[in-house]
Structure 1
Amino acid sequence: MAFMSGDSATELFQAQAQLYRVMYSFLNPMSIKWAVELGIPNVIHNHGQPITLSDLVSALEVPQAKATCVQRLMRLLAHNGFFAIIKVYESKEEAYALTPTSQLLVSGTDHCLSAMVGFLNDPTLVGVYHQLGKWTCGEDRTIIETALGPRGYWDFVHQTPTHMQAFNEAMESDSHVMRLALRDCKSVFEGLDSIVDVGGGTGNTAKIICEAFPNLKYIVLDLPQVVDGLTGNKNLSFVSGNMLKSIPQADAILLKWVLHNWGDDDCIKILKNCKDAISGRGKGGKVIIIDIVINEKQDEHEMTEVKLLCDVIMMTSLNGKERDEKDWKRLFMDAGFKYYKIFPTFGFRSLIELYP
């Protein structure tokens, strides 16, 4: 083997560090789940001010021998921006404070995403990704089929009550961002008399929008096993059905985080059904889409990484995909729509208004 120069050795060691960083990064979501299971965000929130390690360990009722474990967990999470380490002048100890990210993990708030943390860290669903190589070289459409047998993701979820509950709770927690987004996009829903929320699940998004627009007639459309037994009110109703077959008539159709679950052909079917549902509404009818739009040229590296990771999840689990604007435009045109507007108002997702 040839002797390695100083520069080459430096590059090799940097490459090694990058490789190890990525390989060890599976511990990042596990550490977040760890903190949520211990209730650390809640403890800090309830403390009302930055909390010292000794007070945190006491509040968690952790054995003193494990105090250093808590300290090392907090060091990692603080490094990743989940907590802040504060100097306390009247004490020799450092203290931990919440950051905007860890505030998303405080229970009982309108923006708590702890349920999503638990869902995305489910051991069964995480475990299937050890089969990526086998899935790629095989005939199965999704990695779920390769790892768990001949059934798709939705069959797996609907046939497993614990996963169904975890899925619904995760989607409900994600819908809370609608409260924040409505402040900037109220005009999207103003002037509408009726709307159908396609794939609206248990109706959390519906309830939030109905609060802001109490005169809006709101229909949640989802599969029978999702909406059976759910009750609405004078403005909100739940209807069982299949968006691939037909969608109830309304002024507008809402597709929140739905189309990325599906391949292009199915998306075109869904969008054509949306077009039929609003065809009697004249120029006022529209489709409202909340979904990812990949934009590698303009987005920051971290934002693009989130979108590309979601794309791999959609590809492997559902045979779906995340799309850039060219992909979206092609779907819209093939489904018979003529005009659309994109608003990047939902963080890593965008709001799209689509017109026939």
Structure 2
Amino acid sequence: MADQAHTIEVPTDAELLQAQADLWRHSLYYLTSMGLRCAIKLGIPTAIHRHGGAASVPSLMSKLSLPASKQPFLRRLMRVLVTNGVFAADHGDGGAEVERYRLTPLSRILVDGAVADEHHSQTSFVLAATSRHYLEAALGLDEWFRKDVAPPPPSPFEDVHGAALFDESTPLLDPELDAVVNEGLAAHDNLGIGTILRECRDLFAGLRSLTDCCGGDGTTARAIVKAFPHVKCTVLDLPKVVDKAPKDDVGVTYVAGDLFHTVPPAQAVMLKLVLHHWSDDDCVKILTQCRKAIPSREEGGKVIIIEILVGPSLGPVMFEAQLMMDMLMLVNTRGRQRDERDWRDLFMRAGFSHYKVVKMLGARGVLEVYP
């Protein structure tokens, strides 16, 4: 047995070479993230957009006011980002010297300052995810696993920084981080509202009233009222958020409060990308308050949940994206992304009788939960 413990199967030559290449990729993925951060900080997506949608390296150098000595390095950066789908590249008859870079759907949502319906720039999300504070929390992950602490354990972010995200302690840690995290959260949450309203019209068609929990500045509520003027919307959020909300929204009422303690009554309550920040026990408390706020199922009462619904059925790329978002929660919050069984268990614990998955929209699921 001792000899067996010290032996190992030797890969074939082909397997060994592939394993080494895979190891390079996995060990160096962070450089793609840093390259993406660099492109955003330089303003490359916005520069390409303002250049008519396509730009060569020399054009970008001029547009971004970069020193001429950095031109070869910019081309190398763009090559990596093209390979990873951030940008696309066209080769003219003159070869690489006239290569022009175009925006892809990914880089279009990284353009700042553009005015268009449903355009929510995601630059702040990237800047938060690649921030020094997030990276330091991830670097402390092995030490966090070794610590034996009473449950519930703090997140690695809390453990390293002594502060929690989306908490009053965050601006004390770093006001700039707090600002970019909240901007990133709002942009992330508001992306795809139009898709939800178009693809899931039956969710709202028969409603008279709806409470949007953690509805922020009311972007989602305004979109619902615009598409369904008969729905009276209430936005519930913390006082510091409601204080900054628009004061003249027609059809939208703002209420300052805490969804752990009370939820304004309505025919439907919506939780859009909220629960993944919280532990299972906290989710049950939130869902219990939501159940108290709605009428019976016979009277149309329901809770609308819009969250990542983890599962491999959407293919390996989307599944990997879901798992990366779960790792983001593991490192930086006390929450997690959940599969359908996890969601069902939470609904039953909170006293609901039934639920259904209305539709999958990308990595997210739209669920109706009934009292």
More deviation, 182-191/268-277: 182-191
Q: Distance in 1 between matches of 2:66 and 2:279?
A: 48
Amino acid at match of 2:143: K
Asked if the contact 1:119/1:166 (under 8 Å) is kept, the reply is yes
Q: 1:301 aligns with which of 305, 308, 316?
A: 316
- Output the CA distance in 1 between the equivalents of 2:252 and 2:316: 40
Structure 2 counterpart of 1:318, which letter?
T
Q: For 2:111 and 2:29, locate their aligned partners in 1 and report how far apart those are by CA, in whole Å.
A: 23
- CA drift at 1:295: 1.1
Match of 1:169 in 2: 183
Alpha-carbon shift at residue 248 of structure 1 (Å):
0.9
Q: Which piece of structure 1 moves more, 283-292 or 44-53?
A: 44-53
Tell me if the contact between 2:137 and 2:331 (Cα under 8 Å) persists in the aligned partners: no
Identify the range of structure 1 (264-273 vs 311-320) with the bigger mean alpha-carbon deviation: 311-320
Secondary structure at the aligned position of 2:200 is classed as helix
Aligned-residue offset at 1:193: 1.7
Indicate yes or no: 2:29 matched with 1:25. yes
Identity %: 37
| Alpha-carbon separation, structure 1, partners of 2:40 and 2:349 | 44
| SS of aligned partner of 2:81 | helix
Cross-structure match for 1:11 = 15
What is the aligned partner in structure 2 of residue 143 from structure 1? 156
Alignment match, 1:97: 102
Q: Is the 8 A contact 1:272 1:335 kept in 2?
A: yes
Q: TM-score, structure 1 length as denominator? A: 0.91
Whole-Å separation in 1 of the counterparts to 2:346 and 2:241: 27
Deviation at 1:43, TM superposition (A): 1.8
**Alignment partner for residue 307 of structure 2, among 287, 291, 313?**
291
Question: 1:282 deviation in Å?
Answer: 4.2
User: TM-score normalized by structure 2?
Assistant: 0.88
Aligned counterpart for 1:201 among listed residues 216, 223, 228: 216
2:267 to 247, 251, 256: 251
* Aligned equivalents of 1:126, 1:211: Cα separation in 2: 40
In 2, the alpha carbon distance for the partners of 1:6 and 1:125 equals 37
1:317 maps onto 2:321 in alignment: no
Shift of 1:323: 1.0
Q: CA deviation at 1:303?
A: 0.9
Larger mean Cα displacement after TM superposition, 281-290 or 320-329: 281-290
Q: Is the 8 A contact 2:166 2:178 kept in 1?
A: no
Gaps of 5+ in 2: 1-7
CA–CA distance in structure 1, aligned partners of residues 279 and 307 of structure 2: 14
How is 1:327-342 mapped onto 2 (pairs within 5 angstroms)?
Answer: 327-342=342-357
Q: Is the Cα–Cα contact under 8 Å of residues 88 and 94 in structure 1 kept in the other structure?
A: yes
Deviations 1:100-126 (A, max 9, x none): 111111222414211211222221222
Q: Comparing 11-20 with 242-251, which one deviates more in the overlay?
A: 11-20
**1:128 paired residue number:** 137
Could you tell me how far 1:154 is from its partner in structure 2?
A: 3.1
Q: Is the 8 A contact 2:234 2:255 kept in 1?
A: yes
The one-letter amino acid paired with 1:93 is V
List gaps (5 residues or longer) in structure 1: none
Deviations 1:250-303 (A, max 9, x none): 01111011111112111111111111100367430111111011112x121111
- What is the aligned-residue RMSD (CA, Å)? 2.3
Shift of 1:143: 1.0
CA contact (8 A) 1:168 1:201 kept: no
| Partner Cα separation in structure 1 for residue 137 and residue 368 of structure 2 | 36
Give the distance between the partners of 1:168 and 1:105, measured in 2 at CA: 17
Match of 1:113 among 115, 122, 126: 122
Distance 1:245 1:63 in 2: 56
Which residue pairs with 1:221 in the alignment? Answer: 236
CA displacement, residues 167-191 of structure 1 (integer Å, 9 cap, x when unaligned): 3321232203202332212221112
Partner Cα distance (1:228, 1:53) in 2: 45
